[in-house]
Chains A and B, each alone.
Chain A
Amino acid sequence: MNEQLQMLVALQDLDLMIREAKDPERANREEELGFPLDGVVKLERTRERLAKQLDERLLQMYERMSRRYARVVVPVEGSVCLGCFMGLPTAASHRRTSGTTVDNCENCGRILYRL
């Protein structure tokens, strides 16, 4: 996994964590169980820092797709994209969108990685 993809994965995981911490119902349940969630601002700052380190085009691609999809970076298993569950021709699943360092699903555009 290249460094850009690693950072993208970290960004996606962080976004999910922030989203859940800000969801009142979900946050309440965790707090009731005894887990305080008072560091959301800290996470948001980390998110900003991480975003700045990412390749700009890659970040834009991620931000654009996250408006449409809950998960932008998804695994490909065998030759199936686990974002849209479409089979990909082997060649296509390895094709790179010009100028970036990641593989995109030919069908849904999501960013692919091997789990």
Chain B
Amino acid sequence: MPTAPIAERKPATHLENHLRADLFIPELKAKKKLAVLEELTAHLAERKVTRHPEAVLEVLRQREALGSTGIGKGIAIPHGRSTMVAERAVLFARSSRGIDFEAADSLPVHLCFLIVAPPMEQDPIYLRLLADIVKSVRLARARQRLLEAPDFESVREILTASVARE
């Protein structure tokens, strides 16, 4: 009897490849934009993504001056490339209370994805990561589920499914 073909597995997306259980903050302590960016970069330092959180924070502050990364619907995706980061990393953080992130629609931010990367001149993956994340939170249902996910494994499943769907 011929065996059934192995279910084709889609290749992992860039976002999937960058998700890390140790880069997850289930509930942010900070409530304001700058304090949140500080909390995020401190977490990166704790997890050895950088030894210079203040340099990374400076990049993120400047990136916000260029234009808020609060893109509306309760989502912020602060991102930047820093000399003081050795490899790309994505940190996912939540705030059930909501953060004032000067978002385009003025709504408080509940889901925050931080992307940091080294300052390579050509890094197509960096922009694709950004696109993957935007895609993953497009649906209201995905956003709601991310907010309610009990642990990182659930977060991973929701994000993976949301990016693959499109």
Contact = CB atoms under 8 A, between A and B. Distances in A.
A46 B65 CA distance: 10
Interface string A1-41: 10000100110111011000100001001100111111110
A43 B86 contact: no
Contacts of B21: none
Contacts, number: 74
Interface in A32-59: 33-40, 42-43, 46
Given A33-B134, A36-B67, A75 B62 contact: no
Contacts of A38: 66-67
B62 A43 contact: yes
B62 A13 contact: yes
A17 B59 contact: yes
A38 B65 CA distance: 9
B119 A12 contact: yes
A39 B61 CA distance: 12
Given A13-B55, A13-B58, A43 B83 contact: no
B26 interface: no
Contacts of B52: 1, 9
27 contacts: A12-B119, A13-B55, A13-B59, A13-B62, A13-B80, A13-B81, A13-B119, A14-B62, A17-B62, A17-B80, A34-B71, A34-B72, A34-B104, A35-B67, A36-B68, A36-B104, A37-B67, A38-B66, A40-B66, A42-B65, A42-B66, A43-B65, A43-B66, A46-B65, A71-B83, A71-B119, A115-B84
Interface of A: 1, 6, 9-10, 12-14, 16-17, 21, 26, 29-30, 33-40, 42-43, 46, 70-71, 73, 75, 113, 115
Which 3 residue pairs are nearest across A and B when measured between Cβ atoms? A34-B71, A36-B67, A39-B66
